[in-house]
Amino acid sequence: TSISKDIAEADANVVPVVPRLLEKMRDGVEAAKSKGGLKSKLITLTVWSAGERFQAEKNGSSASLPAKVGYAVTGSLRLKIRKMLFGSELNFCLSGGAKLSLDVAEYFVALGIPIREGYGLTETAVATNVSRADTPLGSVGPVLASDIELKLLDDDEVCFRGPNVALGYYNRKTATGKSWDEEGWFHTGDLGSLDERKNLRIVGRKKEIIVTSGGKNIAPNDIEALIKNSPLVSQVVVVGDGRKYCVALITLSDVGVSAFAKRERIADSNALHKNELIYNKIWSHVQSVNTGLASFETIKKIHILPEDFSVENGFLTPTFKVKRALVEKTFKDEIDGLYP
């Protein structure tokens, strides 16, 4: 199976990262905006003007004159940010291992840092899809080669068949039967959609779909990604399966909260997860996210946890995916407390 020419030729200058690292990088840039002084003001202007220009182009309109001027005079700073984060020889950044938030992808592309997304599983010899330069952000692109077959089931589960796909699990007949059907299609357990150009977009995990007590189906990943756009937030787990409504467990971003605490002169750094000002700031952000959601998707309550999720404390996998079942089991009392 051959991969696309542009990816092959760029291989020497590709920086592979997991989405969590990109989120941390964005948080670092955002924190630099709040340190005060001329440097912070210039970084603020750089990020703002780049974002304004990107959104205008995305919407088919023209950026405001201040944004155009700001973008023109901060070109060297955009290059400096790019070099500081990825070095001077970057061709593009390849994200994989978990779903990348659209807002994070747009943040870096606006600053002139090309982002591509890859998708695949161990059972498919890793990569099956990689986005190209002309692939819409938020998509993992088309299949890498014509002999990789892709289809969506009626419930939108993503399935693959091809020479790169394993025939089953070694000496595990029952497990193989659950993941491979009689026609040789491997069922990934991921939910997706395809556009007219066969670009695949991953929606979430089939087993992670929340079904409320009212029978509403909710994909938590996109909601979590929107909440994580706050510089104060590190990780989010939306809970609501079998419940009347959805709530969210939230962990704090060390970088973002430290900058906020310094700016607001919050003294007790050991109990920031209990600080009323930080809680209200995050809750206000969640309420803003709620305005763009269907009523049954909205987050009714939140709980801020005292410690961030990490590989070391067991709440993240080695590829920085949240172990939802473990989180919900460990913090059952906190979750139950959000439901009267």
Where do runs of H (alpha helix) occur along the chain? 5-9, 19-32, 37-58, 65-73, 75-86, 102-110, 173-179, 220-227, 254-263, 276-290, 324-330, 332-336
Q: For 211-233, what is each residue's pLDDT tens digit?
A: 999 999 998 998 999 999 999 99
Of residues 268 and 326, more confidently modeled = 326
User: Rg of the Cα trace of the chain?
Assistant: 21
Q: For 117-141, what is each residue's pLDDT tens digit?
A: 999 999 999 899 999 999 999 999 9
Token pair of 234 as six digits: 């590190």
Of 271, 265, 273, 270, nearest in space to 334 by CA: 273
Q: Measure the CA angle with vertex 46, ends 43 and 49; round to 5°.
A: 145
DSSP letter (8 states) at residue 293: S
Of 79, 80, 119, 78, nearest in space to 98 by CA: 119
Cα torsion for 120, 125, 128, 133, to the nearest 10°? 90
Q: What is the mean pLDDT of residues 171-193?
A: 96
> What integer pLDDT is reported at residue 4 of this predicted model?
45
Longest Cα separation, the chain: 65
**What type of residue is 124?**
T
Q: For 136-146, what is each residue's pLDDT tens digit?
A: 999 999 999 99
Q: What is the mean pLDDT of the chain?
A: 91
Q: Measure the CA angle with vertex 210, ends 307 and 188; round to 5°.
A: 95
Of 13, 319, 15, 3, nearest in space to 142 by CA: 3
Where do runs of H (alpha helix) occur along 203-323? 220-227, 254-263, 276-290
> What integer pLDDT is reported at residue 43 of this predicted model?
96
> What integer pLDDT is reported at residue 106 of this predicted model?
96
Confidence bin at 11 (pLDDT 50/70/90): very low
Q: For 280-311, what is each residue's pLDDT tens digit?
A: 999 999 999 999 999 999 999 999 999 999 99
Token pair of 202 as six digits: 């991953």
Of 237, 235, 245, 187, nearest in space to 211 by CA: 245
Predicted model pTM:
0.79
**What type of residue is 121?**
L
End-to-end CA distance of the chain: 55
Sheet holding 126-130, edge to edge: 14-17, 92-95, 115-121, 126-130
> What integer pLDDT is reported at residue 76 of this predicted model?
96
> What integer pLDDT is reported at residue 88 of this predicted model?
87
Q: For 231-264, what is each residue's pLDDT tens digit?
A: 999 999 999 999 999 999 999 999 999 989 988 8
Numbers of helices and strands, H then E, in the chain: 12, 13
> What integer pLDDT is reported at residue 8 of this predicted model?
44
> What integer pLDDT is reported at residue 144 of this predicted model?
94
Token pair of 200 as six digits: 């695949």
Token pair of 94 as six digits: 């390849």
DSSP letter (8 states) at residue 135: S
